[in-house]
Structure formats: C-alpha cells, structure tokens
Amino acid sequence: MASLLANHIPFEVVETTDDATDLTHTMPEAAGQTFLRGVPVQLNAGNVQQWDGATITAGILGVSDEDAHNLASAGKGYPGAFTPVGFPGTGTTFGSVPNQPAAVNIPEGAPFSIGGTVYAEATENTIFRGQTDNNTGAATMPTKANIGSQYGVSFDANGHAYIDFAKVTPGTNTVVIMYDLDPIDGSIANARILFKFLKAAMQLAV
C-alpha cells in the first residue's frame, strides 16, 4: 500500500534541547546516491547513503541537509587532510570531452559537490519536524494523545520520508518518538509533528 500523500515535506531540525546549534557533519557520500534533502541517512562502510528503511537498531545517522550528488564513485573528490576538493567538484555533468574520456563538462550552475553529504546528526538533543502519514493509505491526524508514542519512518513514491503511523511496534519497526505537535499545523490531517530519533535507532548514539 502507498501513503495517502504522494509527496511529503522534508524532515528538518527545528530546535535543540540545549539551545545550541544543531550538530551537522559531513561524511563521504556513497556512489550513485539520489536521495533528497530531509530524509534519514545512514553510514555504510564509512559512506553516507539513504537509510535502508529496515535497520531500526543503530541504523540512522541523521537527516540529509542537501540532495545527494549521484557521485560516480564513493566520496569522489572528498578532501583528505590538507588536500583540496578533488576532481570534478560536482555530480552533474553532460556530454563528453573529445579524446579525453575521464574529463567532464560541467553545466553552468551545476550543484557543487565536495564528495560528501552534509547531514543533521541524530542526537538526543535534536528535535526534528516531519509530516505524518500511513503506509496503508489510511487517514492520519496526530493529536496530543500521540505525544510520547513511537513511530516508524517510510518513504513515499517520490523519495520523501514521512512519519509512518502504521509502524507502531517498538523494537520492530519504530525509530522515532513523538515530542510534540507542530505549533503551526496542530492537529490536522497529515500534520507535521516534532520528533526525536530513538537512541537505539541512532547509528552513532551521541
């Protein structure tokens, strides 16, 4: 079954419990990633990729702060210690260069890439906001009664993530805990809610 909505608003950090700037970090991006900004991501062999949607124990690194770059190889161009950003500096190229198979054409305005993904790390201090839905297609309307309940996360047909009110079995399919209603949406259909990732679901558990 599919979610009721085909598109969902990206996850984002809205506040932290210690009133500090949310912890963001950059790690090398896995090859061929096309995930969107505002979706859960995970580390796989040291490279960031979209969360697989299934690993609920230590499976979520954080939430992407930018779209993936569709890199030709993992971490392509990612700078090491005292090295500049490597070639080509983007994941978006076109055509070919005569007689130079490894060279690239970069279209004007192509998003730059340093070979990594910036993400907001899932920490106990970080409160995210995300839209609710139900993978059965049923209507979803969060209320105050849901605060403190655990839920899972699913992806819609267009690659966005949502808080899945059909995933409610702790230890089996839940990765977040509802922190509050969103002060703007309140209790409406497919409202956004404030949530934290469960410590058990955090990949780095900081």
Give me the residues that bind another protein (CB under 8 A), please.
79-80, 82-90, 97-106, 108, 112, 114
The Cα–Cα gap between 29 and 27 comes to 6
Query: Nearest distance from residue 93's CB to another protein, in Å?
Result: 8
Quote the least distance from Cβ 110 to another protein, whole Å. Answer: 8
Pick 64 or 90: Cβ nearer another protein: 90
Residue 129: what residue type? R
- Closest distance to another protein from the beta carbon of 15 (Å): 19
**Of 32 and 86, CB closest to another protein:** 86
* Nearer of residues 19 and 145 to another protein, judged by Cβ: 19
Which residue's CB is nearer to another protein, number 69 or number 192?
Answer: 69
Query: 183: buried, middle or exposed (CB in 10 Å: 19+, 13-18, 0-12)?
Result: exposed
Query: How far apart are alpha carbons 78 and 71 in whole angstroms?
Result: 11
Q: What is the smallest separation between the CB atom of 33 and another protein, expressed in angstroms? A: 19
Which residues, at least 6 apart from 181, have a Cβ–Cβ distance to it below 8 Å? Answer: 142, 143, 144, 147, 187, 191, 193, 194
CB 117 within 8 A of CB 41: yes
Nearer to another protein, 86 or 159 (CB): 86
With H, G, I as helix, E, B as strand and everything else as coil, classify residue 144. helix
Three-state DSSP state, 71: coil
Residue 68 CB, nearest distance to another protein (Å)?
A: 17
Shortest separation between residue 38's beta carbon and another protein, angstroms: 21
Three-state SS string across 10-33, please? Answer: CCEEEEECCCCCCCEEEEEECCCC
For another protein, give the closer residue by CB, 53 or 89.
89
